[in-house]
Amino acid sequence: MPNDKPKVSLGIPLYNESEFLEETIISLLNQTYKDIEIIAIDNNSSDDSFKILQKYSKKDKRLRIYKNKYNIGQSANFNLVFEKSEGEYFSWIGAHDKYEKNYVKNLLNKFDKNQNISVVFSNVSNIDKDGNYMNTEKNIGFELKNKSSLFRLLKLPWVIKGSGDIVMGMYKKELLKKTTLFSKGVMWPDVFLIHQVSKLGKIIKEEENLRIRRYFRDDEKDFKNWEEKYIKQTERYRSSTQIGINKLSLPLKLPVLFLSWKILLEMGIKKIYNPINLIVSLYLFANFTLKRKHAIWIDLKRVFK
């Protein structure tokens, strides 16, 4: 019996993305690699996002669409898209971004040429809200190519950057199932996910600019200083767009401390059967906390003021 499941799943978690969503969908449907499915879940938008999904799902059966009855929060919706996927490979898709026609093909080829990969991602180009290029080539993220998971984790704190771009790469679905995905209640679930996949396999980059990332929010402007940027961006992560109808929890009020604890808990304490796991998780915990002590101080001041 032939396998009727797609090779690659592309998951679009979205909320009020009608302004740019159509361009995103068209760029996915026009991929040179055709054995794909696109799963789009509207997180109870108040704009015309779902109407756009309906329009294109009628034209192409590879697009499967859903709409949540209420806003379940960004992380939960990211996870739901993955849970509904059926492909051997999976990639999260930005609902306001565009993708070059060889995006799927080129990332998939990296898996054929390399072994023990956790995630493959590409460099990006940046455009503004009007579609004008801010730059045509941006070198993002980092690579971890060592065969040893221990050496990858030891190196991670000194190279980690661009987690938000890396997590939007391509994974083997079976490997991604071994992680906590986008952990609910964590302000930077992408950073935590990168810690987990670094242990599971290599992080590989496609040098070609295959993803076109769109900058359109006010909090993506240039700031006077780091503290102003940190405060503005953490406020966005605490908004209803991100957490849905849930109440603001203590972990989101003290995000750095909580994420440090999650690294220690999930990667060390819960895997105490191997003492090396605990030692490495303590190393990651200490690095993450010390490098962000300024942010911790800002959070503490805001909680107890």
User: What pLDDT does residue 138 have?
Assistant: 85
Residue 222 binned pLDDT confidence (cut-offs 50, 70, 90): low
**β-bridge pairing 63-67 and 36-42:** parallel
Closest CA to 24 of 44, 51, 53, 67: 53
pLDDT category at 29 given cuts 50, 70, 90 is very high
Quote the pLDDT of residue 114.
83
Q: What is the CATH number of domain 8-214?
A: 3.90.550.10
pLDDT score at 216: 82
Q: Give me the pLDDT at residue 77, please.
A: 96
Domain ranges of the chain: 8-214, 219-304
Q: How many CA atoms lie within 13 A of 50 on its CB side?
A: 12
The reported pLDDT for the residue numbered 219 is 53
In whole angstroms, give the CA distance from residue 233 to residue 41.
24
Whether residue 180 is predicted with pLDDT greater than 80 in this model: the reply is: yes
Burial of 118 (0-12, 13-18, 19+ CB in 10 A): buried
Q: pLDDT per residue over 195-209, tens digit each?
A: 999 999 999 999 999
Interval 66-96: pLDDT, tens: 999 999 999 999 999 999 999 999 999 999 9
Q: Which two tokens stand for residue 140?
A: 């993002």
Under the banding of pLDDT at 50, 70 and 90, the label for residue 179 is very high
The overall average pLDDT reported for the chain is 92
pLDDT greater than 50 at residue 63: yes
**Reported confidence tier of residue 3, pLDDT bands at 50, 70, 90:** low
pLDDT of residue 247: 82
pLDDT above 70 covers what percent of the chain? 97
Q: What are the Cα distances from residue 125, in Å, to 26, 122, 208, 221, 272? A: 18, 10, 10, 17, 42
What's the per-residue H, E or C state across 74-133? HHHHHHHHHHCCCCCEEEECCCCCEECCCHHHHHHHHHHHCCCEEEEEEEEEEECCCCCE
| DSSP one-letter code for 249 | P
Q: Which amino acid is at 77?
A: N
Q: Is 185's pLDDT higher than 90?
A: no
Name which residue leads in pLDDT, 115 or 173.
Answer: 173
**Does residue 220 carry a pLDDT above 70?**
no
Please give the pLDDT value at position 117: 96
* Residue found under tokens 């192409």: 60
The C-alpha atoms of residue 70 and residue 50 are separated, in whole angstroms, by: 13
Q: Closest Cα to residue 15, out of 87, 80, 104?
A: 80
What pLDDT is attached to residue 1? Answer: 37
For residue 44, CA distances in Å to 173, 182, 210, 223, 240 come to 26, 19, 29, 32, 12
Alpha-carbon span 297 to 257, nearest angstrom: 10
